[in-house]
Amino acid sequence: MSRKFFVGGNWKLNGDKKSLGELMDTMNAAKVDPNVEVVCGAPSIYLDFVRSKLDAKFGVAAQNCYKVAKGAFTGEISPVMIKDCGVNWVILGHSERRHVFGESDELIGQKTAHALESGLCVIACIGEKLDEREGGITEKVVFAQTKVIADNVKDWSKVVLAYEPVWAIGTGKTASPQQAQEVHDKLREWLKANVSEAVASSVRIIYGGSVTGATCKELASQKDVDGFLVGGASLKPEIIEIINAKL
């Protein structure tokens, strides 16, 4: 079955109302491939602002959320708050959450379950570190991360899996199209064996890790690469080129 190409922009801890406003003006005015689903991951303090300013054809995501709806959890935001801002997506399990902020597989699984139960769609991130790739345990690592996510998903139509090799995020190193395709193919095999053939063929697996206008076309041509999670380039007009990678 055909999977709708998906481009997520992860703005991370970047931008202010002026620069993000200019970026959104550029995106709103651009000619973009109508067959691509686009979602912008905004800092939580700007979710309302971004949703009100960005054209309705683009989705908006929070970059994280907590595993409960409300309570004494200073500094956290919940799926119900995200939805109250008109936002329908959340990015969970990003390597920066895992490795900078110490989030465990277990916590990411709990967050995934709660976000989905609350009616959000989830961009669930997985990926190995450089020492893990060099040690030959890429599959072991990404399968273990995927299992914790899969154990918490009932409706896979609400989930996009983002494979982001940690060694390629913000480093300027990109996994070769062949390296990306190989892992995406293995992930699909894992889903077929551990979830179902229908989910394996329908779920979108996107690639993240220094995706640019220069690298996006060849990556997009791989049969199991269903889009991108874009970091730095998503803050530049270059994001339009990446959205249009299949044209």
CA dist 116 and 122 (Å) reads: 7
Contact 10, 211 (CB under 8 A): no
Please tell me whether residue 23 adopts helix, strand or coil conformation: helix
User: Active-site residue 128, yes or no?
Assistant: no
Spatial separation of the C-alpha atoms in residues 161 and 157, rounded to whole Å: 11
Cβ proximity of 65 and 78 under 8 Å: yes
Write out the two tokens for 13.
Answer: 């801890």
User: To 10 degrees, the CA torsion angle through 64, 222, 226, 142?
Assistant: -40
* Annotation says 114 is catalytic: no
DSSP letter for each residue of 179-240: HHHHHHHHHHHHHHHHT-HHHHHHSEEEEESS--TTTHHHHHTSTT--EEEESGGGGSTTHH
Out of 94, 103, 132, 184, which one is annotated catalytic? Answer: 94
Rounded (5°) CA angle 166-171-173 = 85
Residue from 96, 128, 132, 164 carrying the catalytic annotation: 164
Buried/exposed 201-219: b ≥16 CB within 10 Å, e otherwise: eebbbbbbbbbbbebbeeb
Please state at what angle helix 138-150 crosses helix 105-117, rounded to 10 degrees: 40
State the catalytic residues: 94, 164
